[in-house]
Each structure stands twice: as structure tokens, then as C-alpha cells.
Structure 1
């Protein structure tokens, strides 16, 4: 059995940088997912019923994936947007783990961070502890990937807005 130790202050500092980077990039990614939903739903010259926009990330991604190809004027963006949605789905588990759990320890033998959460059980009358493990390199890799995804999303979004919604601007 691997030994699990509490996180030390140096570990917490390094982990905080990676987690902070991912969370900031994720908030920017999520805001662009919201903008993409609005673009799809309000696109000029289209009378296609798109359905209800998503509130949770998986439903935002589903809405965009299902509807982006319905807009002929955006066909040149379809492949890159679908690729970015695929990349977003790759980091979604990391994002959810670090957003909804707390780091409770480090398994030194394989540099794995143990994240802990409390889950409701028994008809939502009590909690159960649930541990999830994630390698520190996965967190760092996803933090970098999330920044790259956001940069690509911002570029595409600005191009679409400039072309079809010239009065609407987002901050670079």
C-alpha cells in the first residue's frame, strides 16, 4: 500500500499555481462557451430552432456540438470548434475534480494528489467521503492545455463577432 502524506506548504504552493491557472483559464473558456451558445441561438439570417441553451458545461458543449453545423455561414469554423470541444472534454474531469473537491494528501510513490469530497447519500440525509486521485503532471498538463484552448477560442470568437456581430466586443 502506498503511503499518503499530508500536503506540505511547498506542495500546496506548486499545486495552487497549477490549479489557479486551470481555474482562471476555465472561467474564460466557460464564458466563451456561453458566447458561442448565444451566437448560435441569435445568428442572423437563420430561422432554425436550436433548442434550449445549456447551463451546465456538458450541456453547453452538447448544444454547441449539435447546432454549430446548422449555420452555413459558420461552416468554415465547424471543424476547429468541434476539435476545441473535444479538447475541453479532455480537461473537464480535471476541472470538476479540482473545483468540487479539496486536496487532502499526496501519495509520494507516484506523485499523485488525493482530492476529497463529501457526497450526499441516503436520500440526501448524510454524507460519504469520496477520494479521487490525480497525478500532478495531469493537473499541470491540463492547466497548460486550458490556456491554449482559451487562446484559440478567443481568436475564433473575435473573428466570428467581427464578421457577423460587429457591434459586440469581448475583452482580449
Structure 2
């Protein structure tokens, strides 16, 4: 597998026209996304490669290189470990303890929020009443109801044409 990974590292993506044309159509944001695109392209068009195995291999090879440089420069190793200690992720309990003690939580920015101290403005809209609280408005009809009783309504249950008149008592 290591030979596949070393061939991937030595592959010239900038010289491959298909990769460059595809990269122009896609807008990559950062180096990790570019690495994903390169791994996808290499896996699809050159030879199969496993992404997780490659990432493990690259992290192990980086660790080996760091160990070799650490043996030659012990002072630089101390500065790297102190920088790593600051970016350590805190657990929920540790964050709660810092908050309860009143200490500052690393990595959290304080927003600059100032109260306006203005009185609230009155509402311009009327409140919408609930359907059970609405007042009914009665509409006055322009005709008397006595004439409505004599109107002919077709009976819906019969198949005869509308010749019957049905009288409704109000």
C-alpha cells in the first residue's frame, strides 16, 4: 500500500488536463477539500486508493519526520508542545468549572453587546382575537325573510327536475 501512497504523492496533478479542467469548474475552499478532490480523481482515473488508509499513512509519516527533527532540535519541540496545549479541546465539565470559577474559557470571544436603555415603542397593530373570543357581526338583509320562505329549491333526493317547491319554516 505504501507504494500506492508514494505514487499518489508524486503524481503531478497540475500537468493532468482532466484534473485541471475539473478543478476550474469546482471552487475548492481549503487544502483539505483539495486533498479530497485529488484523492477522488486519483481513485477514479489512475488507480484505486483508500482515503482513510492514506490519511493514516500521511499522519504516520509526518510524525516520523517530526520525531527526526525533534531529535536534532530539542528546543523547537518544546515550543510546539506548548502551542498544542493551548489548542487542546476542553470537556464539558472543564468548561463548566471555568465558568463557575469566573475564569475565561479559551477560544470563546466575548460579544460587545450594549443595552440601548430606550423605552419600548407602542404596538401599531390590533391584537388578533382568538376564534372563541370574536364578536359576531350580524348582517341586516335588504329583504324580509317572509319572501325567502317561498323560494323554490330543488329537492336533492329526487331525480325529477326542479318542479317541486319546498317550504321551510323558520
Instruction: Tell me the TM-score normalized by structure 1.
Output: 0.28
More helix by share: 1
Q: Mark the structure with the bigger radius of gyration.
A: 2
Higher-strand-fraction structure: 1
Q: TM-score, normalised by structure 2?
A: 0.28
